[in-house]
Structure 1
């Protein structure tokens, strides 16, 4: 972690490493929800940030990869080759459209009927099989992937962790998670990073973060050659699914307001949209 001026973070980080192992999982979860609330309440303005820089991008990436590896070990990948191939194709198109190398990203469809998707730092994207019941074609899948890539581009996980690190308890939690060889809290920290629903930890992004990811994602899919209007269709499908999609709706609230924001952004997205050939 980055060092704060004065007596703060560096000194506390050194002392709490010795106490990290004694922090109970229940205590970790209670505190995690608390620091997440701090992060979400603190997200203001057109973006989300508080201007904090207590946790480096490298440290956030380490936590993301740690959570991803544990999730991969505990959650089987889907055996549906059609789903996996579609995610690889759509994901590669979107990543290339933002000027990045698809080989540096890892995108996996997981064998779960949950209607959800998530992004983790370290360029990791997960989509659950249940999402394909709502995302009916590659254009709608591109809306999902573009949105999750948008979370990564905007470093929303880092913003949440920086807000958490502004509290003494948050520093203790992050030190425990970052401690070399300490993976005991990987599933819990995944909640703060954005992938906790697999473990029953529903810590949604803030409204501003979601709207920002929607906006970025809409432009991502349009530049990749996917019809941005499909993003609105996807949300209409979500509304129609109702109780069949509780997981995604619990972490992506207020479909009506988000559809309105997408409609406002649509002219800009359509101006860069050129349909894919082939």
Structure 2
């Protein structure tokens, strides 16, 4: 937050309950929608939580016993990490057993991918699109932004809850519930969708630097679209719909 933002947060004035009701919602909307880099959670906290989550996943989900898959992932990840200016020895990448078509990144330099993803990718370039995307999430500190946005959302809901309890507001419970849904679907999830596209862009840059073919990301998402047919409406989805993502990646490619 800039100094002006900090100063404005210190001002005091009297606001009646009706105005407070309006401002409590507006301030939380402004905080979440108006800031591209919300930083309310420390790096150390985020990393500690990421490492704990990784340990829990490792305990609950076995690693793939297929040495070929582990080797391919390790080789692709090493090339990408070098291109991204990272020391590959500080990172852990692992193929997990499971048919899920999914991959994830956790603070603490951890990347996981499920066996099911290898049923979608056709070559190392497409695998690089996935891993490069996950590296992009971590380099851009998207986990910290996401957690900070959640903290800000919770603050907004607590403020509104206090206002609703303090006054005789008709349908108070319904109003609070509606604001919660609006914050989640109208602000928090689109913020995550923006992160997804930023991670795509960073991943394409890293792919190119590592000698992979960034255009293969388009083919990957075309195959992902076919493999995940029947998903929910884009508006209520955390990730961009495949068609939207494909169009965005195509627009990015000439600039890579």
When normalised by structure 2's length, the TM-score is 0.69
**Per-residue deviation, 1:147:** 0.4
**Per-residue deviation, 1:238:** 1.0
Give yes or no for contact 1:134–1:238 (8 Å, CA) kept in 2: yes
Alpha-carbon distance between aligned partners in 2 of 1:138 and 1:79, rounded to the nearest angstrom: 20
Partner residue of 1:150? 136
Structure 1 residues 206 and 225: CA distance shift in structure 2, 3 A: same
Partner residue of 1:268? 255
What's the Cα RMSD here?
2.8
Give yes or no for contact 2:64–2:70 (8 Å, CA) kept in 1: yes
- Structure 1 residue 42 and structure 2 residue 22: aligned? no
Q: Which one of the candidate residues 75, 89, 114 is aligned to 1:89?
A: 75
- The residue correspondences of 1:1-278 to structure 2 (distance < 5 A) are 42=32, 49-166=35-152, 167-168=154-155, 206-243=192-229, 251-269=238-256
Partner residue of 1:184? none
**CA radius of gyration, larger in:** 2
Instruction: Tell me the alpha carbon deviations over residues 21-69 of structure 1, each in whole angstroms, 9 at most, x when there is no partner.
Output: xxxxxxxxxxxxxxxxx89x9356xxxx454332111110010001001
Give ranges in structure 2 of 5+ residues lacking alignment: 1-5, 10-27, 159-188
Alpha-carbon distance between aligned partners in 2 of 1:154 and 1:102, rounded to the nearest angstrom: 17
Alpha-carbon distance between aligned partners in 2 of 1:221 and 1:158, rounded to the nearest angstrom: 24
> Is the partner of 1:206 in helix, strand or coil?
helix
Structure 1 residues 53 and 242: CA distance shift in structure 2, 3 A: closer
When normalised by structure 1's length, the TM-score is 0.64
Report how many aligned residue pairs link the two structures.
Answer: 196
